[in-house]
Structure 1
Amino acid sequence: MAQSTREIAAFNLSEIPKTATILYWAFPAKNNRMSNRVTYFEIPSANPDANRQFYEKAFGWQFRQWGAQEYWFAHTGSDGEQGINGAVMKELGPQQPVINTITVDDIDSSLRQIEAAGGKIIKPKKSIPAVGWLAFFTDPDDNIFGVLQEDRKAL
Structure 2
Amino acid sequence: MQSNKINYVELPACDLEANKAFFKQAFGWSFVDYGNDYTAFSDSGVDGGFFRADFTSRPQTGAALIVLYCAELEAALAKVEESGGVIEQPIFEFPGGRRFHFLDPCGNEWAVWSDPIESE
TM-score, length-scaled by structure 1:
0.37
